[in-house]
Chains A and B, each alone.
Chain A
Amino acid sequence: QVQVQESGPGLVKPSETLSLTCSVSGGSISSYYWNWIRQPPGKGLEWIGYINNDGTTDYNPSLKSRVTISRDTSKNQLSLTLSSVTAADTAVYSCARALGFGERWFDPWGQGTLVTVSS
């Protein structure tokens, strides 16, 4: 059974870069599409982007200029970087699997990690 766990700093200063890792066990990250999603406290869900099985990425245009998703297949990990953060980037950041190009529902999700942007 695939399990997903996000990790990274809980506090980032404004204008700096947010960097998170998603560790996957029970399955190879090279076999699926992996997505990052965020949820500001008390608010709804926003898709950030994905990296697919051949390493191709796709990003939400609203964040595209600031976001990079990458992977380390040797560690079975994904990474998310978001540059020039502001308070509006405060959110729980989660990673989630999609089975493939057509099967783009998210399951499972990681528990998520709260990132607060504050000086």
Chain B
Amino acid sequence: DFVMTQSPDSLAVSLGERATINCKSSQSLLYSSNNKNYLAWYQQKPGQPPKLLVYWASTRQSGVPDRFSGSGSGADFTLTISSLQAEDVAVYYCKQYYRTPYTFGQGTKLEIK
């Protein structure tokens, strides 16, 4: 199985500041035939199901604010929130969909400092 490891486990950032969450896969998620990275990011607020933010590692889902951006390739990825808003408080998960069983990172809890 692909093991997904996120860092840090929790993060406190001031409003308006940048938040950066890292995700490392135990194997490359880059599929050579199409040059795409099979990684997605989700946001989960308390009492809600996860919400898709980013797929193909860097493609923002429709309706997601442009302060959210995904980057990285191969086995190392980053989710960046350029200017933290109060409504961004949540747990963030990365997920690989390169191969089943699909696996998630353990989650990063983002709070306001």
Give the B-binding residues of A (Cβ under 8 A).
Answer: 35, 44-47, 50, 58, 60-62, 94, 96, 98, 102-107, 109-112
Contacts and interface: CB of A to CB of B under 8 A. Distances in A.
A106 B101 contact: no
Interface residues of B, number: 23
Contacts, number: 52
A104 B38 contact: yes
Contacts of A110: 49
A106 B38 CA distance: 12
B102 A107 contact: no
Given A44-B107, A47-B101, A47-B104, A107 B61 contact: yes
A67 to B, nearest CB: 12
A104 B97 contact: yes
B18 to A, nearest CB: 24
A105 B38 CA distance: 9
A101 to B, nearest CB: 10
Contacts of A96: 49
B107 to A, nearest CB: 5
Nearest to B50: A109
Interface in B49-65: 49-52, 55, 61
B102 A104 contact: yes
Nearest to B102: A47
B96 to A, nearest CB: 10
Given A45-B95, A60-B101, 15 more contacts: A35-B102, A44-B93, A45-B93, A45-B107, A61-B1, A61-B101, A62-B101, A98-B97, A104-B97, A105-B40, A105-B95, A106-B40, A106-B52, A106-B95, A112-B49
A104 B95 CA distance: 10
